[in-house]
Amino acid sequence: MVTTYCSTGDIADFLRIPITATTTPNKLQVEKLINRKEDELDRRMGHAWRSKKITRELHDLPLLYTFGWGTPLFLAHRNLYDFDAAEGDKIEIWQGASSIWENILGNSEWYDANYERGTVHLRGFIFSILRKNRVRVTYRYGGESYGGDTTIPGDIEDCVVKMTAIEIVNTSFRMDRLPMGGSGIDLQSVKAKWETDIEKCIDNRREVYIIP
């Protein structure tokens, strides 16, 4: 099972326990936990350092126009992959007269994109009357192939390691199989410290959205 933000080896180093195919917890179980925590972190931050796909994100056409660019659409994410029809990316315009979505991706006369900022500018729609729910965009963002997010930041790795470690401790119903150190360790205080670190990382990294 593929993990991105950290590995089972990182979890083993952090907890100072062996994690193999035969340990409790085993390698596959820990990888499942890491995947779930990666999903949770992406959702809570509104950004990702791995490839994610957004399907049919719906937009109104704003009453705005940037000279030389067109009418801007502000997508929900930044650091996009270049649009690629072969990967399923689409820019679809609702054609009210015929009740169909027309995909204009590949016709560069109709749009420009700023992939770093996550904006798409449409040309030729400044005087359009039909604006509500007029455009839907399918795109990819984050990930290994985008130049801005090729390296996983250290605090993101640390955050997922601690999120996974908390889950391992919380679900370790057979404590005799998970070495927990000496009797002087206050497990609740340790977990509380990890949780504080996690929330601080999420607060620092959370994307800011402006609701029109």
Q: According to the model, what pLDDT value does residue 173 have? A: 56
- Does residue 90 have a pLDDT over 60? yes
- Within-domain flag for 211: no
Domain end position, chosen among 113, 133, 148: 148
Least confident range of 79-88, 127-136, 143-152? 143-152
Q: What residues pair up with 49 in beta bridges, in sequence order?
A: none
Among 104, 129, 148, the domain boundary falls at: 148
Tell whether 140 and 92 lie within a shared domain: yes
Q: Clarify whether residues 107 and 130 are in a common domain.
A: yes
Residues 59 and 36 in one domain: no
Count how many domains the chain has: 2
Examine the domain organization and report whether 156 and 123 are in the same domain.
no
- Write the DSSP string, 95-125: ETTTTEEEE-TT-TTSEEEETTTTEEEESS-
Q: Could you tell me if residue 180 is inside a domain?
A: yes
Question: Do 80 and 140 meet the contact criterion of CB atoms below 8 Å apart?
Answer: yes
| pLDDT, tens only, 26-50 | 999 999 999 999 999 999 999 998 8
The mean of the pLDDT values for the chain is 89
Residue 212 lies in a domain: no
Residue 31 lies in a domain: yes
Q: Using CA atoms, how far apart are residues 33 and 160, in angstroms rounded to an integer? A: 10
Could you list the residue range(s) of the whole structural domain that residue 141 is in?
Answer: 52-148
